[in-house]
């Protein structure tokens, strides 16, 4: 890096032997002498480049990525279209679900060089590969820590009814500090902590139609600052692709809480201006544990390119199966809601492949998934039994 204001030049060099960044300040051109010199040592680091350190279960459909789904599921509370007068929920119906998000990598630190063009982030740290110059030597003992800012927007759209209401929109923003290492050959361990913000908003058409019914929907302001702690272990296949990628099985776990320091209910506000005088049962803060299992199989059945040089730079095409089981809080906005927790199950099967998008290369994944449990969409979490099946596509950078 060079910074020039006519009189001051700042240089940064990387000491590959000791993993240090050395900064030197020089006063030029008069006098042509170094007035000051300092040296600071840091681990190897890179900016704005994802090192794939986060635990990202395939079946966790609320990851901050871009996707669109065509789904069919249970009706939601006070759905005015197709609803029998005595029914609390509308009939099952099709939906459109749109997520726009990105886990933006900020900076990553490692005890070994992470700018090596012969070693891709998708290559395991503990996979010995002395038979392949593309991967290098045994990298067991490497660790990488990355700071990420996940940002996402989630849209739940009842697109095929009379007034096509946008039922719910959720917004998330946070800070994720995750690590990746290897404690044994052909395994990897990942861990992370997260703290962020989530807010959820009901669509205007939904609120208007709900409040005009005989059972007014109590709109409340859900805005909280959840924290998460997660960890996972991967077991890699002994066989590797030409560029070092290996199929794997991963098992992970996570626990989430609604806030670090909780005040009142921690989940929503019961101000009269929010609820129109409707009494909202109280809910206390509670933990939400989750376990996940994933299998990803890299394959050459559908090769994405015949160019060996290009193929060595890309994660190969792959199939995946994912399962998520968790215990979720239920928001008792409706007086008839008595359950505080409900089991949530989500399963997915997908196929991922590299694709040229705009000026760069991204990865597209086509998948199907099924969900059953408390309605996971924002304020609709008052609904304890909700089922949904979907086909979708997501884009990963």
Block means of pLDDT (10 residues each) for the chain, 397 residues, are 37 40 41 34 79 92 93 81 67 93 93 72 71 47 92 93 85 95 89 93 77 67 87 91 88 92 65 69 82 93 59 84 94 71 96 77 91 90 90 91
- The per-residue pLDDT for 30 is 37
Decide if 287 contacts 258 (C-beta within 8 A): no
Distance CA 195, CA 305 (A): 40
**Is the previous residue joined to 306 through a cis bond, with omega within 30 degrees of 0?**
no
**How much is the pLDDT for 304?**
57
d(CA 60, CA 215): 34
d(CA 236, CA 249): 7
Position 340 scores a pLDDT of 82
pLDDT, residue 268, reads 66
CATH 2.40.128 domain extents, the chain: 44-396
The distance in angstroms from the start CA to the end CA of the chain is: 26
What is the second-level CATH architecture of the domain 44-396?
Beta Barrel (2.40)
């Amino acid at each position: 890096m060079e910074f020039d204001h006519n009189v001051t030049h700042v240089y940064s060099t990387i000491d590959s032997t000791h993993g240090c960044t050395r900064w030197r300040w020089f006063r030029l051109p008069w006098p042509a002498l170094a007035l000051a010199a300092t040296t600071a040592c840091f681990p190897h680091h890179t900016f704005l480049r994802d090192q794939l350190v986060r635990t990202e279960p395939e079946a966790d459909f609320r990851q901050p990525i871009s996707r669109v789904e065509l789904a069919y599921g249970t009706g939601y509370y006070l759905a005015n279209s197709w609803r029998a007068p005595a029914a609390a929920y509308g009939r099952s119906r099709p939906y459109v679900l749109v997520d726009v998000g990105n886990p933006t990598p900020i900076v990553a630190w490692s005890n070994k060089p992470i700018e090596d063009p012969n070693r891709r982030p998708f290559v395991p740290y503990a996979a010995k590969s002395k038979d392949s110059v593309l991967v290098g030597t045994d990298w067991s003992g490497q660790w990488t820590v990355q700071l990420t800012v996940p940002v996402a927007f989630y849209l739940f759209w009842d697109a095929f009814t009379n007034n096509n209401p946008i039922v719910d929109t959720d917004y998330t923003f946070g800070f994720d500090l995750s690590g990746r290492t290897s404690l044994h050959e052909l395994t990897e361990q990942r861990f992370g902590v997260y703290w962020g913000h989530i807010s959820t908003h009901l669509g205007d058409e939904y609120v208007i139609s709900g409040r005009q019914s005989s059972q007014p929907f109590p709109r409340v302001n859900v805005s909280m600052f959840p924290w998460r702690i997660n960890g996972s272990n991967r077991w890699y296949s002994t066989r590797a692709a030409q560029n070092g990628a290996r199929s794997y099985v991963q098992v992970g776990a996570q626990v989430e809480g609604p806030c670090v320091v909780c005040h009142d209910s921690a989940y929503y506000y019961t101000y009269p201006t929010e609820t129109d005088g409707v009494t909202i049962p109280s809910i206390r803060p509670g933990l939400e544990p989750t376990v996940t299992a994933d299998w990803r199989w890299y394959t050459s059945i559908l090769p994405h390119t015949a160019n060996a040089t290009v193929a060595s730079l890309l994660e190969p095409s792959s199939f995946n199966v994912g399962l998520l089981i968790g215990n979720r809080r239920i928001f008792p906005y409706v007086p008839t809601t008595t359950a505080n927790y409900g089991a949530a199950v989500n399963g997915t099967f997908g196929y991922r492949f590299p694709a040229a998008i705009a000026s760069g290369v991204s990865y597209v994944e086509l998948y199907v998934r099924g969900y059953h449990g408390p309605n996971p969409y924002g304020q609709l979490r008052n609904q304890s039994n909700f089922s949904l099946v979907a086909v979708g596509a997501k884009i990963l950078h």
